[in-house]
Amino acid sequence: MHVDLYEKIWMWGAGVIIAAFLGAIAFATASQGRIPPSHVETIDPETAWSDQRFTERGVFGSPHSRDDVRVPAQ
């Protein structure tokens, strides 16, 4: 079977791009510890507005150069 030179170049180019994308995902996962959070907590939706964690709502600065946002989402 004969494949033209330009087709071979495009096929190899696409393969290299796919390998680069997969490599970037693997690098970010391995080196930067990108994992989903494992601690999931649910609260009762009927008492969410009166829960003590949400009595003071808004955006608050933190000494660790991070901001905390406290809002009940619906």
pLDDT in tens, the chain (74 residues): 899 999 999 999 999 999 999 999 888 888 877 666 666 677 777 887 787 877 777 888 777 777 878 777 76
Sign of the Cα pseudo-torsion (7, 9, 15, 17, in order) = negative
Q: Facing residues of 59 across strands?
A: 69
Residue 58: left if φ>0, alpha if ψ -120 to 50, beta else—which one? left
- Sequence-separated (6 or more) residues with CB below 8 Å from residue 57: 70, 71, 72
